[in-house]
């Protein structure tokens, strides 16, 4: 695929998060606690918790930390009252951005997200202003050595997936959002535990971004990622691989 691939996008985001491991653990722990509080501490009956556990393992979060976060949520005792809030906006170059947060103070989070946009050539928009440009899908990620491309493609389609993107970075399997955990379960039986099982915003079309704009855009995404309340940032940009190499060198 020409330009900035889905894998490049994911690996850039993952690489940025890996550099901030303490902050990553805090975000993973928050999701584990909220998932357990909302749906109970049994991952077999709580799909959100199961996905959070997969993400925690992929992020190398210590087992004790995972168990402690789940117990905190499942215990039902006093604690922070987090809520899911989605923010939307436009970054530099007209790139559409969706920010998913877990926050105990929506005023603080909204102010910080708005400031990030304004300082990096973008602007926050109303909810729904850009999400129509994305499809809400289920996304399952396996490492490249889990299977060859043909075997993964055949198994994924048999399990009910709608698309498979295989490359050097691994395999990304896409399915309908309602089918996510059923498809992931079938593939796990064949290929072992995936690196990620999540709902994702997949852009219907991408916006090409030149080198000058790309630098500012990536700074915006990094600032948003650094925010403790932000869980996931999705955007519909496309950066040429040569430009990305210069920016991440």
pTM of the shown model: 0.84
Is the predicted pLDDT of residue 10 greater than 80, yes or no?
no
- Which pLDDT tens digit goes with each residue over 130-168? 999 999 999 999 999 999 999 999 999 999 999 999 988
- Which pLDDT tens digit goes with each residue over 47-79? 899 999 988 988 889 999 999 999 988 886 566
Distances (CA, A) of 193 to 51, 177, 197: 11, 19, 10
Cα angle value 40/177/8 (rounded, 5°): 105
pLDDT for res 239: 86
Of residues 17 and 171, more confidently modeled: 171
Give the rounded percent of residues in the chain with a pLDDT score beyond 90.
63
Of residues 7 and 227, more confidently modeled: 227
What domains can be seen in the chain, in order of their start residue?
6-74 (1.10.10.200), 83-132+204-238 (3.30.70.980), 134-203 (3.30.70.980)
Q: CA 49 to CA 31: how far, in whole Å?
A: 8
Is the predicted pLDDT of residue 18 greater than 70, yes or no?
no
Q: CA 113 to CA 229: how far, in whole Å?
A: 10
């Amino acid at each position: 695929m020409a330009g900035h691939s889905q894998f490049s996008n994911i690996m850039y985001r993952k690489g940025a998060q890996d550099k901030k491991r303490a902050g990553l653990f805090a975000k993973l722990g928050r999701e584990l606690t909220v998932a357990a509080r909302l749906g109970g501490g049994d991952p077999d009956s709580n799909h959100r918790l199961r996905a959070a556990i997969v993400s925690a393992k992929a992020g190398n979060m210590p087992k004790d930390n995972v168990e402690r976060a789940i117990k905190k949520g499942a215990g039902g005792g006093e604690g922070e009252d987090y809520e899911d809030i989605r923010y939307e906006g436009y970054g530099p170059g007209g790139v559409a951005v969706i920010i998913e947060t877990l926050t105990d103070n929506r005023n603080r989070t909204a102010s910080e997200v708005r400031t990030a946009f304004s300082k990096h050539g973008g602007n926050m928009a109303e909810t729904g202003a850009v999400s129509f440009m994305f499809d809400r899908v289920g996304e399952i990620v396996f490492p490249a050595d889990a299977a060859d491309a043909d075997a993964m493609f055949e198994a994924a389609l048999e399990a009910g997936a709608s698309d498979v993107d295989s490359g050097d970075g691994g395999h990304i399997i896409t399915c309908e959002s309602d089918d996510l955990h059923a498809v992931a379960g079938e593939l796990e039986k064949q290929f072992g535990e995936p690196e990620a099982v999540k709902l994702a915003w997949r852009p219907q079309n991408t916006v090409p971004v030149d080198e000058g704009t790309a630098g500012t855009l990536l700074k915006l995404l990094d600032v948003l990622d650094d925010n403790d309340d932000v869980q996931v940032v999705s955007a519909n940009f496309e950066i040429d691989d040569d430009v990305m190499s210069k920016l991440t060198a």
